[in-house]
Structure 1
Amino acid sequence: MAVTLKGLRAFSTVLRYGSFTRAAGLLNITQPALTVQIRQLEDSLGLKLLDRIPKGAEPTAAGRELARSLEPLLQELDHTIAGLQDLAARRRGMVRLAALPSVASSVLPGAIARLRESHPSLQVRVREAVTGQVYDLVRAGEVDLGIATDLKPGGELSLQRLFEDQILAVLPPGHALAALSAIPLSALARERLLLLEADSSIRRLVDDAFAAAGHIVAAAQEAVHMGTLVSMARAGLGIVLIPSSAAEIRMAPELAVRPIGNPPIRRTVSLICRSDRSLSPVAEALVEKVREVLEAPSGHAARDWNPDDPAAASGTGS
């Protein structure tokens, strides 16, 4: 017969309170059932652990030896179980997330604020990275999940679609193309373009769209951060091409913003996870808040850009 945790707890409780009657009450079992558990433990060990005395029970020499090691083990186990229950109930824990800079500056602040409001003890650690780096970080286990544009992930990664947005043109002050409701690629190909660096997913998407339309373009200026490009557009240095959900669009409300067409340049942003690992309760909670932000009335990540829609200038996305 195997030694069981139930039997060890029964022994520890009787020993702690010196009474079968009180121990049975605390364990919410009958006294005969408690006696059976103690007897089974003794049979498994081949040793007598407790002697009944008129006032209750006291340990034998073997019982005292077991007690010296058992009590700290049970305390550590109880501590571990309590910690796991806190994780399951989302009372504590941390999630590590790698995300595109555009997502980190738009969707995540609202999502993390909502998470803090509902679960104050949960922590989120965000790493900004371009799409390829996000996949590498998730694959290597350096983060728990990622948010990036769709790539062919391979067998160890899985994707869940979050939203779709489109690439927009942010025009410098007084630019003639602001008269158009949508700007064709052929017109943009003749302009000074302010683009993200070549290793970004947005830049690859833009370059591929121009190439498919028969245009090879060179950037007048490149930058790592979209905010830098918007500031350059404000100074009249060229046209910025950034996603519709980028928070940086709000940096310069005086600048005209127009969709690109026809057809528009679109991208899908997805949640990237290890297919062989389950998300922790903390990670699941964060994903829930991200989806809440995206589904909120002010969010426009999944909608077409409409310059006359007030929500378009204040929405969130990637």
Structure 2
Amino acid sequence: MPKPLSVSSTTMRLRHIEVFHAVMQAGSLSGAASLLNISQPAASKMLAQAEHSLGVALFKRLPSGLKPTPEAMLLFQETKTLHASLDRVRHLARNLASHPGGMLRIGCIPSLGLSLVPRAVAAFTRLCPEVSINIRTENQQTLSALLLAQEIDIGIAFEPAAMAGIAIEELGRARAVLFGAGSDWPAKAPVHLRELDLSKWISLDSMDPLGSIVNATLAGFDESGRVPMIQVKTYYLARALVESGIGFTIIDEYTAQSAADTFAVRQLEPALSVGVCMMTSMSHAGTQGLKVFVEQLEKQLARIQSLQASELRAQAT
């Protein structure tokens, strides 16, 4: 069995590693040369130099082409990690050079991109009309990667997982609400979890922050151990399935509020909520514009929560 190879312990030059990695990706010297924008003889020469520096044959030369040796497969695992790191460095360098001080780059999960974030952006533009804004919606893991590469200035998500280099701060809470056909719950009063028919439940993945809260709470009211009718990974798919006439779901209030009026949105007993958090890079000092935007986010969340409290008081009377 071949011994594990470590790129850091070899005398291979970075250019040799690039050629090797390109050959593994393209499957041929001609393909690697095209990827690197060099001639095929140059690629062949550098690959031979790489093998010489290692003292190990990385490919078998066959009439059908190059076949990676077991040592090459081990080395490829290392170079994939190295190239991913180099790509992040290139992205970071490009953003450091081109990022103007008058731009605010916002990333958020899709659920917050249809309601909360647009409201905060509208308020921000009235205060800072000279700042241009770039907004993108991504999942939480992608937002973290974008922050580390300094491709966005702030990420907004539901209770993101901790990650080295990322600062996380809760700005407010988002309610979990019941979403289904209006005929299922004719009254507008809150619905208790024990009243739900879980055979019609469309659940969120337990790895999702809100899904974890909802699933754990429902398990406490259902001793039969029934599994949901359908399990999905995104809030919008859960909502779309309900809109197609399938069951009910429990999702965040922002996703539910953007649905058609023909569907019912009901409060839950007991009330459930998930934290709305901002993520920022620990290595990147926030601009004044970013601070103003965060203030507007907090104000919008406070306004929404105030309206919710008023609704609950009205239902109680």
Compute the TM-score of the two structures, normalised by the length of structure 2: 0.56
Q: 1:301, 1:147 → 2: CA distance? A: 21
Counterpart of 1:204 in structure 2 is 212
Q: 1:159 offset after TM fit, Å? A: 2.3
Q: 2:310, 2:272 → 1: CA distance? A: 12
Contact 2:105/2:154 (<8 A) preserved: yes
Counterpart of 2:123 in structure 1 is 114
Counting only pairs closer than 5 Å after superposition, residues 47-196 of structure 1 correspond to structure 2 as 87=101, 92-93=102-103, 95-151=104-160, 153-154=162-163, 156-175=165-184, 177-179=185-187, 181-188=189-196, 190-196=198-204
Q: Which amino acid aligns with 1:292?
A: K
1:197-237 Cα shifts (integer Å, max 9, x gaps): 56543323322333455565544345566455445434432
1:278 aligned onto 2:289: no
Structure 1: which 5+ residue stretches go unaligned?
1-83, 311-318
1:300 aligned onto 2:300: no
Q: 1:106 offset after TM fit, Å? A: 0.9
Q: 2:143, 2:290 → 1: CA distance? A: 16
Q: 1:128 offset after TM fit, Å? A: 1.7
Q: Which amino acid aligns with 1:293?
A: Q
Counting only pairs closer than 5 Å after superposition, residues 35-46 of structure 1 correspond to structure 2 as none
| Alpha carbons of structure 1 residues 290 and 151: separation in structure 2 relative to 1, 3 Å | closer
Percent of counterpart pairs with the same letter?
16
| Alpha carbons of structure 1 residues 158 and 108: separation in structure 2 relative to 1, 3 Å | same
1:165-221 Cα shifts (integer Å, max 9, x gaps): 22111121311x445833333333524123445654332332233345556554434
1:238 aligned onto 2:247: yes
| Alpha carbons of structure 1 residues 116 and 217: separation in structure 2 relative to 1, 3 Å | farther
Q: RMSD in angstroms over aligned alpha carbons? A: 3.5
| Alpha carbons of structure 1 residues 141 and 204: separation in structure 2 relative to 1, 3 Å | farther
Q: 1:162, 1:217 → 2: CA distance? A: 35
SS at match of 1:174: helix
Q: Which amino acid aligns with 1:182?
A: P
SS at match of 1:256: strand
SS at match of 1:240: strand
| Alpha carbons of structure 1 residues 228 and 153: separation in structure 2 relative to 1, 3 Å | closer
Q: Which amino acid aligns with 1:300?
A: Q
Deviates more, 1:124-133 or 1:263-272: 124-133
Q: 1:212, 1:136 → 2: CA distance? A: 36
* Number of positions where the alignment pairs a residue of Structure 1 with one of Structure 2: 217
SS at match of 2:175: strand
Counting only pairs closer than 5 Å after superposition, residues 4-15 of structure 1 correspond to structure 2 as none
Q: 1:100 offset after TM fit, Å? A: 1.7
Structure 2: which 5+ residue stretches go unaligned?
1-98
